[in-house]
Amino acid sequence: MSKEVYIQDWGKVDYQSAWDRQTVLFQEVIDRKMQNRKLAESEKIKQHHYFIFCEHPHVYTLGRSGSAEHLLLNEEGLKAKDASFVKINRGGDITYHGPGQIVGYPILDMDEFFTDIARYIRLIEEMVMRTLAEYGVASDRIKGLSGVWLDKDTPNARKICAVGVHLSRWTTMHGFAFNINTDLDYFKNIVPCGIADQDKDVTSLEKELGYKVPLDEVKAKLLKHFQDLFEAVYKV
**Cα–Cα distance measured from residue 138 to residue 71, given in angstroms and rounded to the nearest whole number:** 30
| 193 in catalytic set | yes
3's torsion region: left (phi>0), alpha (psi -120 to 50) or beta? Answer: alpha
Question: In the chain, what is the straight-line distance between the N-terminal and C-terminal CA atoms, in Å?
Answer: 19
Label residue 147 left, alpha or beta by phi (over 0 means left) and psi (-120 to 50 means alpha): left
Sheet order of strands, 84-87 included: 84-87, 59-62, 94-97
Exposed e or buried b per residue across 102-133, where buried means at least 16 C-beta atoms within 10 angstroms of its C-beta: bbbbbbbbbebbeeeeeebbbbbbbbbbbbbe
Residue 190 is given by DSSP the state B
Q: CA-to-CA distance for 141 and 148, rounded, in angstroms?
A: 5
Please tell me which residue in 18, 160, 162, 193 is annotated as part of the active site.
193
Distance from C-alpha of 203 to C-alpha of 178, rounded to nearest angstrom: 10
Positions marked catalytic:
193
